[in-house]
């Protein structure tokens, strides 16, 4: 069988200018970056749809709690858009830009796979149009401005112990998690402890994903809190005088990038926040531009439904004023077997071969995670279709069991999917089920909590209703931070919980659907520019590391400039 890169290279690509014209995007609103990708003016999303055009439909794709190998969520975001086009719906997908950390680490690329890809997959996974680097440059400019202000007379009264702004890099590099800066004498800065985070964890990336235009981007950058003074006052990028320059660096990043899928349907690529340490969704402007020219927009939220989907509803929908008509929850037999607790899975190592054997007992136990994730989406009033991403080793009995449990949990349908092997043709039944759910009128979106609730109340609502905790336990540092943020006026923001993606809980060892445990909150900080409060539960890293056999070892380039080894 051909690899994903081989399949991608065998596809006859349409010039991106022709695809844009076919969609109805004006030539003057596209900015080509070679023949296969182009920026599209984000302001097109503010324009009304043509007279008589139907109301655009929005579909969110999420998943069960995944294994380190991933369960095909991006594949289904792309593939569902292919299938919708095949049944006569004019559809596009809106996806995040991959980080090169996972690309060269454990997980690999994020262009989908098989017959449901975004192509060229090398462009998609490596650099694209430079947005990731612009986010890093803007973030690090703020860090340099802060350290310079601290050194040169400290006019803002920055307390070094209250600096929260680190630096970022789009590479997995554990050696940079904790560092000392300002060493080497008085001319080099004020010595202090600091560190690096991966670029998708930057608040600047979150801002890019949630901003609705240049003016909103500029205002949000100014509100970013980077430190505090001795009296507890928040110090922002506006206070440092750096927000305007950050906005200038990010000017072109506001435009989403138009690419194409393996079936020449449109894909809008923009922003790239991780869902375990940020809000984990594609951008608001990508969704809006796609909805200006297409009748159906399929977008994804990172990791399981308790992660990206909850943040989609509680953070992104509040910022955009929009909500989906339906959700697709991707499940695999192998992931649900892992949630039985019977199999040992570790990031960076192959999944156990025993997962390929029929095991209805393990699958039945692990379906508790499926039940929990379906009900997590239903808690927001959105109908759910379960897509069972079929692997060759899955048996008919296993597929039937997953379908039965999905329907028992409240899904409107549970459909076998073969999008990897067959592209849009392998998702026709899924597309029909999604259309039926979206057009049923069953979507009655409701946030999980009101913004007037206290920070503690919001945390406890999400921890108990979504993650299954019995109670929340706060560290002294978290309690102090909540009190300070409330006093500073940040108590009415939504929350964004940073935790492991491998469990409904904070602990990756608690598989299935853990209940009535203690949910530990160890730290809390504000992302005022993005517009939410970040809550750190358990041990979660904002700078990943490389494993013993990192993915970059397989990547190479030949004398003709062809890239090999991406997966």
Number of H helices, E strands in the chain: 20, 24
Do both 87 and 201 map to the same domain?
A: no
Q: What percent of the chain has pLDDT over 90?
A: 85
Q: Domain end: 438, 468, 498, which one?
A: 438
pLDDT score for 466: 98
Among 128-132, 175-179, 202-206, 546-550, the minimum mean pLDDT is found in 546-550
pLDDT bracket for residue 275 (50, 70, 90):
confident
Domain boundary among 228, 252, 276: 252
Asked whether residue 314 is domain-assigned, the answer is: yes
Average pLDDT, the chain: 94
- Kindly state whether residues 54 and 179 are assigned to the same domain: no
Of 550, 527, 561, 446, the residue nearest 221 (C-alpha): 527
Global confidence as pTM: 0.95
Categorize the per-residue pLDDT at 7 as very low, low, confident or very high, splitting at 50, 70 and 90: low
pLDDT of residue 135: 98
Q: What is the pLDDT of residue 425?
A: 97
Q: What is the CATH number of the domain that holds 340?
A: 3.40.50.300
559 is a domain residue: no
Query: What is the predicted pLDDT for the residue at 451?
Result: 97
12 in any annotated domain? no
Range of the domain at 482: 455-537
Instruction: Quickly state the pLDDT bin for 193 (edges 50, 70, 90).
Output: very high
Is pLDDT at 115 greater than 90 in this prediction?
yes
Instruction: Provide mean pLDDT across the span 69-79.
Output: 94
Inter-CA distances, 511 with 256, 342, 399, 409, Å:
37, 10, 21, 18
Cis peptide upstream of residue 120 (ω within 30 degrees of 0): yes
Q: Give the pLDDT band (50/70/90) at residue 273.
A: confident
Q: Report the SS3 class of residue 494.
A: coil
Binning pLDDT at 50, 70 and 90, where does residue 1 land?
Answer: low
Q: What are 119-155's pLDDT values in tens digits?
A: 999 999 998 999 999 999 999 999 999 999 999 999 9
pLDDT tens, position by position, 496-505: 999 999 999 9
Q: Is residue 202 part of a domain?
A: yes
Cα-to-chain-centroid distance, residue 452: 26
Mean per-residue pLDDT, 260-269: 97
pLDDT at 105: 84
The answer to whether residues 492 and 429 belong to one domain is no
pLDDT of 551 reads: 86
Section 166-183 average pLDDT: 96
User: Residue 337, CB half-sphere, CA atoms under 13 Å: how many?
Assistant: 22
> What are the CA-CA distances from residue 319 to residues 27, 152, 191, 493 (Å)?
30, 38, 38, 11
User: Which strand (E) or helix (H) includes residue 523?
Assistant: strand 518-527
Task: Give the CB-side neighbour count of residue 562, counting CA atoms within 13 A.
Answer: 8
Q: Given the structure tokens 């025993």, which residue do they identify? A: 354
**Band of residue 158 on the pLDDT scale cut at 50, 70, 90:** very high
Q: Tokens 């700078």 belong to which residue?
A: 543
Residue 25 lies in a domain: yes
Model pLDDT, residue 106:
76
**Is residue 198 located within the same domain as residue 284?**
no
Question: By mean pLDDT, which of 177-181, 246-250, 509-513, 540-544 is the weakest?
Answer: 540-544
Same domain assignment for residues 315 and 426:
yes
* pLDDT tens digits, one per residue of 10-67: 777 999 999 999 999 999 999 999 999 999 999 999 999 999 899 999 999 999 999 9
**Mean pLDDT comparison of 92-106, 215-229, 266-280, highest-scoring range:** 215-229
Quick check: 77 and 58 in contact, CB under 8 A?
Answer: no
DSSP 191: -
Give the pLDDT confidence score for residue 12 in this predicted structure.
79
- 213 within a domain of the structure (yes/no): yes
Q: Does some domain include residue 551?
A: no
- Residues 394, 331 contacting (CB under 8 angstroms): no
Q: How many domains does the chain have?
A: 3
Q: Does the residue 42 lie in any domain?
A: yes
SS3 assignment, position 558: coil
Does 191 lie in the same domain as 168?
yes
Give the position of tokens 């006026």: 489
- Please check the confidence at residue 340 and state whether its pLDDT lies above 90: yes
Is 394 strand, coil or helix? Answer: coil
CA 115 to chain centre: 22
Angle subtended at Cα 281 by Cα 278 and Cα 282, rounded to the nearest 5 degrees: 135
End-of-domain residue from the set 252, 286, 318: 252
Same domain, 425 and 282: yes
pLDDT, mean of residues 485-508: 96
Same domain, 200 and 138: yes
pLDDT of 8 strictly over 70: no
Q: What share of the chain is helix, strand, coil (3-state, %, to 5)?
A: 40, 20, 40
Round to whole Å and give the CA distance between 403 and 386. Answer: 8
For residue 526, the surrounding DSSP H or E stretch is strand 518-527
Question: Any idea which of 99-108, 129-138, 278-287, 323-332 has the lowest mean pLDDT?
Answer: 99-108
CATH number at residue 232: 3.30.1510.10
Cα atoms in the 13 Å half-sphere on the side-chain side of 155:
7
Q: What is the CATH number of the domain that holds 467?
A: 3.10.410.10
Residues 280, 209: Cα–Cα separation, whole Å: 9
The reply to whether 418 and 362 lie within a common domain is yes
Structure tokens at 139: 């973030």
Residue 6 confidence (pLDDT): 65
- Lowest mean pLDDT segment, chosen from 37-46, 340-349, 414-423: 340-349
- Burial tier of 259 (Cβ tally within 10 Å: 0-12, 13-18, 19+): buried
pLDDT per residue over 524-558, tens digit each? 999 999 999 999 998 888 898 888 888 888 898 89
| Residue-level pLDDT at 548 | 84
Residue 4: what pLDDT? 61
Cβ atoms within 10 Å of 252's Cβ, excluding its own: 14
**43 and 120 inside one domain:** yes
The verdict on 120 and 139 lying in the same domain is: no
Say whether both 92 and 116 belong to one domain.
Answer: yes
Looking at the predicted structure, is the pLDDT value of residue 2 above 70? Answer: no
User: What's the pLDDT score for residue 547?
Assistant: 85
pLDDT of residue 440: 95
């Amino acid at each position: 069988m051909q690899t994903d890169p081989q399949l991608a290279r065998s596809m006859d690509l349409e010039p991106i200018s022709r695809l844009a014209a076919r969609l109805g995007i004006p030539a003057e609103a596209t900015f080509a970056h070679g023949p296969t990708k182009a920026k599209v003016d984000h302001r097109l999303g503010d324009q009304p749809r043509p007279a008589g055009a139907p109301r655009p439909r929005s579909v969110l794709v999420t998943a069960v709690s995944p294994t380190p190998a991933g369960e095909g969520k991006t594949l289904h975001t792309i593939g569902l858009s292919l299938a919708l086009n095949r049944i006569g719906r004019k559809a596009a997908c809106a996806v995040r830009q991959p980080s090169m950390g996972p690309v060269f680490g454990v997980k690999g690329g994020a262009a989908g796979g098989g017959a449901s890809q975004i192509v060229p997959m090398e462009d998609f996974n490596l650099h694209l149009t430079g947005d990731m680097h612009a986010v890093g440059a803007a973030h690090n400019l703020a860090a340099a401005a802060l350290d310079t202000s601290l050194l040169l007379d400290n006019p803002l009264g920055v307390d070094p112990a209250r600096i929260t702004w680190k630096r970022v890099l789009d590479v997995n590099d554990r050696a940079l998690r904790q560092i000392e800066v300002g060493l080497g004498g008085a001319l080099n800065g004020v010595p202090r402890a600091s560190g690096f985070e991966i670029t998708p964890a930057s608040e600047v990336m979150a801002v890019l994903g949630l901003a609705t235009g240049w003016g909103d981007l500029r205002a949000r950058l100014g509100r970013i809190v980077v430190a505090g003074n001795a009296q507890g006052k928040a110090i922002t990028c506006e206070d440092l005088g750096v927000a305007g320059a950050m906005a200038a660096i990010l000017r072109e990043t506001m435009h989403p990038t138009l690419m194409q899928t393996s079936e020449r349907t449109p894909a809008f690529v923009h922003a790239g926040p991780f869902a375990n340490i940020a809000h984990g969704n594609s951008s608001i402007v990508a969704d809006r531009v796609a909805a200006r020219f297409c009748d159906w927009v399929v977008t994804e939220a990172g990791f399981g439904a308790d992660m990206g989907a909850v943040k989609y509803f509680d953070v992104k929908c509040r910022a955009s004023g929009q909500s989906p008509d339906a959700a697709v929850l991707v499940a695999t037999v192998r992931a649900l077997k892992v949630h039985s607790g019977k199999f040992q899975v570790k990031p960076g190592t192959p999944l156990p071969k025993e997962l390929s054997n029929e095991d209805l007992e393990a699958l039945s136990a692990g379906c508790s995670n499926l039940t929990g994730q379906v009900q997590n989406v239903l808690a927001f009033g959105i109908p759910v279709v379960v897509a069972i991403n079929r692997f060759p080793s899955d048996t008919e009995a296993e597929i039937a069991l997953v379908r039965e449990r999905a329907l028992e949990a409240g899904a409107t349908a549970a459909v076998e999917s073969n999008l990897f092997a067959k592209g849009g043709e392998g998702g026709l039944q899924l597309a029909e089920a999604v259309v039926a759910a979206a057009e049923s009128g069953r979507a009655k979106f409701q946030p999980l909590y009101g913004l007037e609730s206290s920070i503690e109340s919001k945390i406890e609502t999400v921890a108990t209703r979504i993650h299954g905790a019995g109670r929340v336990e706060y560290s002294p540092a978290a309690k102090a931070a909540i009190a300070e943020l409330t006093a500073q006026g940040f108590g009415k923001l939504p929350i964004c919980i940073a935790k492991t993606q491998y469990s409904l809980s904070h602990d990756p060892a608690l598989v299935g659907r853990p209940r009535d445990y203690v949910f530990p909150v160890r730290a809390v900080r504000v992302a005022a520019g993005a517009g939410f409060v970040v809550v750190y539960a358990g041990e979660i890293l904002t700078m990943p590391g490389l494993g013993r056999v990192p993915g970059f070892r397989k990547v190479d380039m030949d004398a003709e400039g062809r890239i090999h080894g991406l997966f």
